[in-house]
């Protein structure tokens, strides 16, 4: 005889239990994101859950490395649960010589980071990633950023967010012109600009070599957020360049293309530099307009990462979008729901004698990709009707003695209450003719 031994089986901190009432509306996030990527011409990839730790030491930055879930495998190798997509995607691409370019890849899977859990940040999370490899142009940058906006708009969030854009190559020149030589360290400081006390921020810049009389004006520059189509006027005020400057002209072309993807969505923000060390050009992040949440998504151009891993020169641009903040924003805006109306049958059996026939009918319905529930708990008809409504069934099929003997079915529409008797073969004929729509309920 087994004896109950009380054990505290609590959920591990930083990880989530997702029940059906949350999982079902979350389906829309995955479906919309993946469909958006596919209509943009992206193809899906899947990545392993573990990687060699060295993959992230190369270029991801100390902060990310410190957040990895690392362990030694049985061969003594240092392994980590995959904390982000980009290094793995580059590894996958550079390991194959037969993949023609340009490459448009996307994924939507789990990652792990040992961070301090808080609202919108867990140690296990799903993240959508989209990347283009091969060509390097303002048009390619715009296509990736445009995909990000397309996903959010198709989730109903148009007007609830904005995408802030900058270019690290331009910012590097701005920093150098303002006396800062350690650009990498400056980017790390600027990345936390919105969260850092101003006096402390001033001191940090002065310690890096920025003259004291320039710090305040530099901070005012970082505070500006300008519609992307007005970028040229802002850039003229912060950097010296001429019409032959390819970096500036590329960014200005990007600023002209982006509004065509989604008007009033994109803004120049010189404080947006992104924390990861491998970004080389344009960078971007999306935030809700009310400023209630952390970044919804972020990404940028990383042209040197393939060179570091494999010696291959493969320009790249991409972004990642986590599920947690997106879910919080959808709830905040009243858009977190799965309102996809689909036909769903409940096959009721007043007598278990006819249950095998009910299973056969349900199997035929399910084979047409239509949900069908069965009376698996031997409930009476009243309880089965309640269960049908609870499960969201749209149609009730009754298969009892009378129906069985006459080779017919009783079919009821639960929303209108309309009910008919139809032969078994006639129902199967309607099922076969339905195409991609519902099984049509006869008028008479």
Query: Is residue 412 within 8 Å of 419, Cβ to Cβ?
Result: yes
pLDDT for position 210: 92
pTM summary value = 0.88
Read off the tokens for 394: 């749209």
Q: What is the pLDDT of residue 109?
A: 96
Q: Are 90 and 59 in contact (CB under 8 A)?
A: no
Beta strands 124-133 and 316-322 are: antiparallel
Strand order in the sheet with 395-398: 372-374, 345-348, 395-398, 408-413, 419-423
Distance between CA atoms of residues 109 and 25, nearest Å: 17
Q: How far apart are CA 327 and CA 329, in angstroms?
A: 5
188 touches 196 (CB < 8 A): no
What are the structural domain ranges in the chain? 20-332, 345-433
Residue 279, exposed/middle/buried by CB under 10 A (0-12, 13-18, 19+)?
Answer: buried
Is the CATH code 3.40.50.150 the one for domain 345-433?
no
CA–CA separation, 269 and 284 (whole Å):
9
Helix (H, G, I), strand (E, B) or coil at 34: helix
Q: Which residues contact 276 (CB under 8 A, 6 or more apart)?
A: 60, 61, 64, 86
Handedness of CA 423, 426, 430, 431 (dihedral sign): positive
Coil, strand or helix at 108 = strand
| 8 A C-beta contact, residue 71 and residue 79 | yes
- The sheet that has 225-227: what strands, in order across it? 43-44, 103-112, 124-133, 316-322, 297-301, 282-288, 161-167, 266-269, 225-227
Residue with structure tokens 């570091």? 308
Query: CA-CA distance, 18 to 13, in Å (whole number)?
Result: 14
- DSSP letters spanning 37-80: HHHTT-EE----SEEETHHHHTTS-HHHHHT--EEE-TTS-EEE
DSSP SS3 for 266 = strand
Q: What are phi and psi of 167, to 5 degrees?
A: -135, 120
Do residues 251 and 169 touch, judged by C-beta distance below 8 A? no
The DSSP-derived string for 178-197 is: TT---HHHHHHHHTTGGGS-
Q: Report DSSP state, residue 207.
A: H
Residue-level length of the chain: 444
> Whose CA is closest to 271, among 288, 289, 256, 283?
283
Q: Does a cis peptide bond (omega within 30 degrees of 0) precede residue 102?
A: yes
What CATH number labels 20-332?
Answer: 3.30.930.10
Neighbouring residues of 107: CB distance < 8 A, sequence distance ≥ 6: 44, 45, 46, 47, 85, 89, 128, 129
pLDDT of residue 1: 64
What are the start-end ranges of the E strands in 56-187? 70-72, 78-81, 103-112, 124-133, 161-167
- pLDDT for res 441: 92
- DSSP one-letter code for 204: H
pLDDT in tens, the chain (444 residues): 677 777 677 899 999 999 988 998 999 999 999 999 999 999 999 999 999 998 888 766 677 788 999 999 999 999 999 999 988 999 999 999 899 999 999 999 999 999 898 888 899 999 999 999 999 999 999 999 999 999 999 999 999 999 999 999 999 999 999 999 999 899 999 999 988 899 999 999 999 999 998 999 999 999 999 999 999 999 998 888 888 889 999 999 999 999 999 999 999 999 999 877 778 999 999 999 999 999 999 999 999 888 888 888 999 999 999 999 999 999 999 999 876 678 999 999 998 899 999 999 999 999 999 999 999 988 899 999 999 999 889 999 999 999 999 999 999 999 999 999 999 999 999 999 887 788 999 875
pLDDT for residue 142: 98
In this structure, what DSSP letter does residue 371 have?
-
């Amino acid at each position: 005889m087994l004896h109950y031994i009380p054990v505290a089986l609590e959920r591990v901190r930083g990880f989530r239990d997702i029940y059906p009432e949350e999982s079902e509306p979350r389906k829309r996030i995955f479906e919309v994101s993946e469909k958006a990527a596919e209509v943009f011409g992206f193809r899906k990839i899947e990545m392993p859950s573990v990687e060699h730790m060295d993959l992230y030491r190369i270029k991801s930055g100390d902060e990310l490395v410190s957040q990895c879930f690392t362990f030694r495998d049985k061969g003594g190798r240092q392994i980590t649960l995959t904390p982000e997509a980009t290094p793995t995607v580059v590894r996958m691409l550079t390991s194959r010589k037969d993949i023609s370019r340009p490459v448009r890849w996307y994924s939507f899977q789990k990652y792990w980071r040992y961070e301090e859990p808080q609202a919108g940040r867990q140690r296990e999370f799903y993240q959508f990633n989209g990347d283009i490899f091969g060509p390097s142009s303002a048009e390619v940058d715009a296509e990736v950023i445009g995909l990000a906006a397309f996903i959010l708009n198709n989730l109903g969030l148009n007007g609830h967010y904005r995408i802030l854009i900058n270019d690290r190559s331009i910012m590097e020149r701005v920093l150098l012109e303002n006396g800062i030589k350690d650009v990498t360290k400056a980017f790390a400081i600027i990345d936390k600009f919105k969260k850092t006390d101003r006096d402390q921020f001033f001191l940090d810049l002065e310690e890096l070599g920025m003259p004291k009389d320039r710090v305040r004006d530099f901070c005012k520059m970082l505070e500006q957020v300008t519609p992307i189509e007005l970028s040229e006027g802002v850039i003229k005020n912060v950097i010296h360049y001429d019409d032959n400057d390819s970096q500036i002209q590329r960014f200005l072309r990007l600023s002209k293309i982006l509004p065509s993807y989604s008007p009033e969505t994109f803004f120049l923000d010189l404080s947006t530099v992104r924390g990861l060390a491998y970004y080389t050009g344009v960078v971007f992040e999306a935030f809700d307009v009310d400023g209630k949440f952390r970044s919804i998504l972020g990404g940028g151009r990383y042209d040197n990462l393939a060179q570091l891993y494999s010696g291959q020169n493969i320009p790249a641009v991409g972004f990642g979008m986590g599920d947690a903040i997106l879910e919080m924003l959808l709830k905040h805006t009243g858009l977190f729901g799965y309102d996809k109306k689909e036909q769903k049958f409940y096959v009721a059996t007043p007598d278990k004698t006819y249950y095998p026939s009910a299973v056969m009918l349900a199997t035929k319905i399910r084979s047409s990709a239509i949900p069908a529930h069965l009376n698996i708990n031997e409930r009476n008809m009243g309880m089965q009707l309640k269960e049908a409504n609870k499960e969201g069934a749209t149609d009730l099929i009754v298969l009892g003695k009378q129906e069985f003997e006459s080779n017919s079915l009783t079919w009821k529409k639960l929303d209108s209450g309309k009910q008919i008797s139809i032969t078994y073969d006639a129902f199967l004929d309607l099922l076969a003719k339905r195409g991609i729509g519902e099984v049509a309920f006869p008028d008479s």
